[in-house]
Amino acid sequence: MLDFTSLYQTIQKSPLAPWLQSLPASIEASLAKPHGDLAEWMALLNRLPDLQPSTIDLTSDVIRIGTPEDCSATVRDNIETSLRHLHPWRKGPFSVFGIHIDSEWRSDMKWSRLQPHITPLANRMVLDVGCGNGYYSLRMAGEGASLVIGIDPTLRYVFQFRALRHFLGDIPVHILPLGIESLPERFEYFDTIFSMGVFYHRRSPMDHLRHMRQCLSQGGELVLETLVIEGDDGAVLVPQGRYAMMRNVWFIPSGPTLISWLRRCGFQETMLVDISATLPGEQRSTDWMRYQSLVDFLDPDDHTKTIEGHPAPRRAIFVARA
């Protein structure tokens, strides 16, 4: 089973120590749920070779772990085979000993849009909600965060991160197989919380905002990235059925509406810092994500609409303070 001892030791020495009363049991319960691929993924991690990368770069658009010269072609081929067994890779890109993981999302593009607008992360404790395989969490560590805890209930993404972390060694980033519901209420310890690509999947958006507010230290910062529609305060799309082929999309507000919701939930200094249409250059099928992607979810005759007739995806970034 996955070992979280180093995380527990780190938390024990931090303000997060009260979390240890419930955290190990929450992780154990998550990993105990039946999952047909769990044994295979554990075996995959155990087969990864013990390689020390000559260089690690968490600050470039492509997160780089080692170079092709760090191992033989045979070893590199075996690593690539293992990494491909964790398909699909949604977030990235990564380069692992010269293996280019061309993920579905060019996540570096979103990071470039938000990074100039956030409080510098140096020496901050950060929570990354819905972190996926940890691309953004690793970029946060690259910006100097003292500790980054990512949470995502999708085990495949946790194992993708574990495969990368196998070569990264002792870095201050930990990805947990949990949802935000597993965090205690009134847990005001994080300096920055990121919630990117999560908000529209929440059945109760106000509860989601309040929970994140309760996990921020006084003066802490929320960085929220989500789908939005055009419109004034009060405008919100509640899709009947799917949105861009996604089943679990509940609320897509306008920018002014979401700012009102943030303020109502106790946030201050709320700012909408970026709105960008999602384009096929940022989200697309690749050799590392071979399923359908954005172009398949848009009206083939009018890319300003989804295949269901809704406004095509526009994503906004909000920054707010507790």
How high is the pLDDT of residue 185?
83
What ranges do the domains of the chain cover? 5-321
Output the pTM of the full model. Answer: 0.97
Per-residue pLDDT tens digits for 87-116: 999 999 999 999 999 999 999 999 999 999
CATH architecture, domain 5-321: 3-Layer(aba) Sandwich (3.40)
How high is the pLDDT of residue 17?
95
DSSP state string for 145-199 = -SEEEEE-S-HHHHHHHHHHHHHH-S-SEEEES--GGGSPSS-TTEEEEEEES-G
How high is the pLDDT of residue 186?
87
**CB environment 20-54: b (16+ within 10 A), e (fewer):** eeebeebbeebeeeeeeebeebeebeeeeeebebe
- The long-range contacts involving 65-73, CB below 8 angstroms and separated by at least 24 positions, are 65/94, 65/95, 65/96, 65/97, 65/164, 65/167, 65/168, 66/96, 66/97, 66/98, 66/167, 67/97, 67/98, 68/97, 68/98, 70/97, 71/97
Per-residue pLDDT tens digits for 252-282: 999 999 999 999 999 999 999 999 999 999 9
Q: What is the mean pLDDT of the chain?
A: 97
